[in-house]
Amino acid sequence: MTAITHHVPDALLAAYATGNLPEAYALVVAAHISLCLECRAAYEAHQVGGGAVLETVGAEAVSEDLKSNVLDLLDAPYRPQPTYPRAGVYPGPVMEALKGKPPSWKSVGLGVRQSILSSGRDGSVRLLYIPPGQAMPDHSHNGLELTLVLQGSFSDSTGQFGVGDLEVADHDLEHTPTADPGAPCICLAATDAPLRFRSLVPRLLQPLFRI
């Protein structure tokens, strides 16, 4: 794997460590952390810092039935959640979202395919398969978009992004991501709002492809 040069911003790492990151973004950050030693160390530092803060917080009053509620939960049957190891180019967090199965690819044209992992009011996360040399439609953003490269690489006006690199794009960025020569580019992308496409055809197809 090439060196990772584009990392998770510290504010997003802090939000992830405290459980305050929306699910779609949390999946992308978890996948990046599984690939990046630098961000994994920063994430663990945030966890340690959070624990230290909790130790300084004063006691809070709780309801009288809290103890019985906790004991009831402890008595409930334990159903461990399955864990999934990395499979091919897909990190463990992505395989967990896929429930251990291969992506279900659907064509969006020009050889590009997508597999939607989740989509809802708070955002969506999907896998994208982009053939070498293929450009995505020129677009800007209504919100925040996180894109993690799992295979190959892509380039845009901000630089080149290889395996493990994370691009953070907001409403200030208009770009045309293009897969570089070599292996097809496979990315994990999360958004919290529809993209803003410049061309008419992508705008017309946008509701169909939920992008």
| pLDDT number for residue 99 | 95
For residue 1, name the pLDDT band (cuts at 50, 70, 90): low
Is residue 29 within 8 A of residue 21, CB to CB? The reply is yes
**Full domain range(s) for residue 50:** 1-79+86-211
Region for residue 18 given its phi and psi (left: phi exceeds 0; alpha: psi -120 to 50; beta: otherwise): alpha
Q: What is the pLDDT of residue 76?
A: 67
Label residue 70 by pLDDT band (50, 70, 90).
confident
CB 145 within 8 A of CB 202: no
Residue 189: pLDDT band (50, 70, 90) is very high
- Alpha carbon distance, N-terminus to C-terminus of the chain: 29
At 148-171, the pLDDT tens digits run 999 999 999 999 999 999 999 999
pTM for this model (two decimals):
0.84
Distance CA 196, CA 211 (A): 9
Q: Residue 123's pLDDT is what?
A: 87
Q: How many domains does the chain have?
A: 1
Mean pLDDT for the chain overall: 89
Contact 35, 164 (CB under 8 A): yes
Indicate the burial class of 211 (C-beta count within 10 angstroms; 0-12, 13-18, 19 or more): buried
What's the DSSP call for residue 121? T
State how far the alpha carbon of 184 is from the alpha carbons of 104, 112, 134, 194, in Å.
17, 10, 9, 25
More confident position, 193 or 180: 180
Q: What is the per-residue pLDDT across 43-55, written as a single tens digit (0 to 9) for each?
A: 999 998 655 555 5
* Whether residue 58 has pLDDT greater than 90: no
Of 115, 134, 136, 138, nearest in space to 183 by CA:
134
The CATH number given to whatever domain includes residue 141 is 2.60.120.10
